[in-house]
Every structure is written in C-alpha cells, then in structure tokens.
Structure 1
C-alpha cells in the first residue's frame, strides 16, 4: 500500500480535519467544502484526482425530481438510500425518483459524485445518514415552492 486517500466534506462531517492531521493525513486538494486528504506511505504514492460534480438538474414539469447517488458497499450510504426510497414513496405521483448506483459501470465517472441526494437540483446533506424527517421536509418544501 502506497497511500491512503479519502474524500471529506468540511465542516459537516462528524470528524474534524485536525483528527486526521494528527495521524499524518494532509490536504492535497479542495473544491469548495470538499477536501481530498491523503496519508502518504511510500515515495511511490500517486496523487489521486479529486472528483468534481458533473451533475445537472433536469426539471420535469409539475413534478419534484429526487436524484439519489449511493454506494451499496458503504453501509451508511445504503441506510440513507433506504430512507430516501421510503420517503419518496410517501409522495407517490408528485415525485420523479432517479436512482444512481455509483458502483455501476460509468456512473461515478459520468456524474463525478460518490454519494449525494438532490431535490429539484438542490443538494441536501447532513454529514451523516440523511434523517427521514429532513428528507421529507426537503421534498415538501420543494412541492410548496412550485
């Protein structure tokens, strides 16, 4: 193993940057609140490129659009996906639901996202698994604003 890179969203993530810095991780790039940090273990380590979102919202007349990007290999992402799907069902025909599984070939590269929830193009994020009540609020708010 030559390095340990990981993506990080600051300040909403539950562990501060200082926690990782104590263990030798250093920031190698930043895109807004998103950081890419890395612990170099070998002089042969290659610096990875930070993902940049290529997502574009595609509105649907008279509908709320929910786009979910998730990873089945991450238990917290899987929990979050289950919550989103359960809440979306409550809104029945008012919502168009687009499910994007990032481990499917080409999805991560096409959208540049490892994990995300968008409601009418606006990302909703808590730094931990999205609570059902807040997902519900975001969709209800979008319905009331249209």
Structure 2
C-alpha cells in the first residue's frame, strides 16, 4: 500500500506543470470563442472579417477580443498580454513579434481593457503571430 501511495505521489509530481498554464488545444480555442460570442454577439458580417484576421475598431469587437484573450489567459489585468503564455501557445520563435506588440497599461491609461486587448492583438496578427493551427480555430456561428 505504501508503494502505491509513493507511486501516485511520484506521478502527480512528475505531471505537474510550472505556472499551471498549458498550450490550448484547437478545441479549447473554438469553445472559448463560441462562449465569448454568446456573451458579446458580434454581427455576422464582422465575424466574416475575422476569417481574414481583420478586426474593426468597434466596441463589440474590443469586448469579444478581450473576452477570448482573458478566458485563454493570454491577457490578464493589470499586466495585459502575458508573453510567456503567448510563447507557449505560438512558439518561442515568435518572441520578437510578441515583444514588439505587447504594450503596457501605464503607456495608455485612457484605454479600456477591450481597446488595449484589441490594439495589441491587431499588432500580433499583423506581425505574423498567427500559425496555421490557430487559423483553423475560427468559428462560423
């Protein structure tokens, strides 16, 4: 019995991940996007733009992008986007893009969380952060 307990403890320790954050699967990405669309019903024509990775500067889009980024724990208040989470999700080869695009709230004190999340996200998209795997997670609802 004591060997069983020791074995279980060993497995638990070995499987623990530092910081508790792991790369999100395409299924998790789709589910979070669907959940955020329920909370923030972006019009269908605007959602069509998302398929081309175009994000208009509209309040509903800001709220949606913030929701997705926050639910995935890419973006947390008050830090903003978490570079380690983005590097884990998209790859450390994307670090220069991430460092170029992440801004700090102190630099934009008048921005809402949604505006901040969208602004940084648009830069990340424009600079090539998005991988083929991520492109396949856009939902059509």
- Would you say same fold, with TM above 0.5? no
User: Which has the larger helix fraction?
Assistant: 2
User: Relative contact order (C-alpha < 8 Å, sep 6+): which is higher?
Assistant: 2
How high is the TM-score relative to the length of structure 2?
0.28
